[in-house]
Amino acid sequence: MKKFTGALGNLVLAALVAAIFYGGYLVVRTNAFARDAAEYTDKAIRAMADPWSADEFVKRAAPELLRQGGPKFMPALFAWYSGLGKLKSLDRPAGRVGSGAYPGTAINGTWADYSAHAEFDAGPAEITLTLKRQGEGWQIANIQISAQAFSHMKQPPSPADEQGPLANGK
Are the C-beta atoms of residues 159 and 167 closer than 8 Å to each other? no
According to the model, what pLDDT value does residue 169 have? 39
Helix (H) or strand (E) holding 34: helix 2-49
Are the C-beta atoms of residues 34 and 96 closer than 8 Å to each other? yes
According to the model, what pLDDT value does residue 32 have? 77
**Domains of the chain: which residue ranges?**
2-160
Fold entry, domain 2-160:
Nuclear Transport Factor 2; Chain: A, (3.10.450)
In sequence order, what are the beta bridge partners of 85? none
Q: Among candidates 163, 79, 73, 81, which has minimal Cα distance to 122?
A: 81
pLDDT along the chain (170 residues), means of 10: 70 65 56 87 96 94 82 88 96 92 73 96 96 92 93 81 44
Burial state string for 32-50 with b = 16 or more CB within 10 A and e = fewer than 16: ebbebbbebbbebbeebbe
